[in-house]
Amino acid sequence: MKRTTILLLILAFGLSACDGPSPSKSREAEAASRQLVPKDPDIAAIYGRSCSSCHTVAATGAPLTGDGAAWTPRMDKGMDVMVDSVINGFGGMPPFGLCMDCSAEQFEALIQFMATPVSSQ
């Protein structure tokens, strides 16, 4: 085998390895999450400028909007804990989820919306 062929094979393998275990599944969940918008226009505006930038992008590690399976174990911790996670920051999420002037009630509405499975929206 020629040296360039080996290099190409290594490159091809390296690129495919970056896709992770189930790229099509997370792409579907991403596409589904991007269709969803909160019904309340004020909440929709906050969601559009803050939360959606991460919660519709699987690579951020954020539970995707409408992905019931990702949200159920988190919601089991209780709404108060969820709101505290946003206010204090949690893992890859910065404090306030990038909405510095949001109230606890607005966070609750945003979380309720994001955690509602696609099939029930």
Applying CB under 6 A, the residues found at the interface with ligand HEC are 50-51, 53-55, 60-63, 74, 77, 82, 85-86, 90-94, 97-99, 102, 107, 110-111
Task: Between 11 and 94, name the residue whose CB sits nearer to ligand HEC.
Answer: 94
36: left (phi over 0), alpha (psi -120 to 50) or beta: beta
Task: Between 7 and 80, name the residue whose CB sits nearer to ligand HEC.
Answer: 80
Rounded CA separation 57/77 (Å): 23
61: left (phi over 0), alpha (psi -120 to 50) or beta: left
We find the least distance from the C-beta atom of residue 11 to ligand HEC, in angstroms, to be 30
Residue nearest to ligand HEC (CB): 91
Residue 121 · residue 39 · CB < 8 Å: no
We find the least distance from the C-beta atom of residue 78 to ligand HEC, in angstroms, to be 10
